[in-house]
Amino acid sequence: MEEEWFPLVNEEGETIGKATRRECHSGSKQLHPVIHLHIFNEVGELYLQKRSMNKDIQPGKWDTAVGGHIDYGETVEEALRREVREELGITEFTPQFMTRYIFESTIEKELVNTFRTVYNGEIQPDTEELDGGRFWLMEDIKTNLGKNVFTPNFEQEFRRLFL
């Protein structure tokens, strides 16, 4: 399998180098960019994806509708559109930029570019990467925070943006 290359960025998102996926996820804490998309329907419910039980990180947990790495040489917008198409089969949507922040775990450090959109069309989750997904009432998400239902990254972002 061909090695995946990620851009290394500064806190403003400017590319300052590149490294492999393995290097970025090895605990090196090299800052690399990712995208997140929060998808709302017309009544204000938030779509969440259910992570596959085969994932090595947070299997079976509910997570942000779309999340993915930006490939080296790819713009934020290109990565956003590619990931949304790959994960949910959506090609027509209008993203609104929300925020950019640094997320750090024990194995990696990401510059998260967060967007939102309102979408009422068909959603077809990728069955290899995901165990499906559904729209949640905001109150149901709030009720389940801290109960090991969601990924820690989603909970942190949800609290930052919506509480």
Do β-strands 46-51 and 31-40 pair in parallel, antiparallel, or remain unpaired? Answer: antiparallel
Please report which confidence band the pLDDT of residue 128 belongs to, taking 50, 70 and 90 as the band edges: confident
d(CA 130, CA 141): 19
Residues 95-100 have a mean pLDDT of: 98
d(CA 33, CA 152): 18
In CATH, what number is assigned to the domain containing residue 49?
3.90.79.10
d(CA 111, CA 8): 10
d(CA 74, CA 129): 21
User: The domain containing residue 132 runs over which residues?
Assistant: 5-162
Domain count, the chain: 1
User: DSSP E strands: which ranges in the chain?
Assistant: 5-9, 15-20, 31-40, 46-51, 62-64, 66-69, 96-104, 109-118, 130-136
Give the residue ranges of DSSP H helices in the chain. 21-24, 76-88, 138-144, 152-162
Q: How far is CA 130 from CA 58, 147, 152, in A?
A: 12, 21, 17
Please report which confidence band the pLDDT of residue 2 belongs to, taking 50, 70 and 90 as the band edges: confident
pTM of the full predicted structure?
0.95
Please report which confidence band the pLDDT of residue 56 belongs to, taking 50, 70 and 90 as the band edges: confident
Residue 65 · residue 37 · CB < 8 Å: yes
Q: Which residues pair with 152 in a beta bridge?
A: none
CA dihedral sign of residues 61, 48, 96, 162 = negative
Phi, psi (5° rounding) for residue 67? Answer: -145, 140
What pLDDT is stored for residue 49 in this prediction? 98
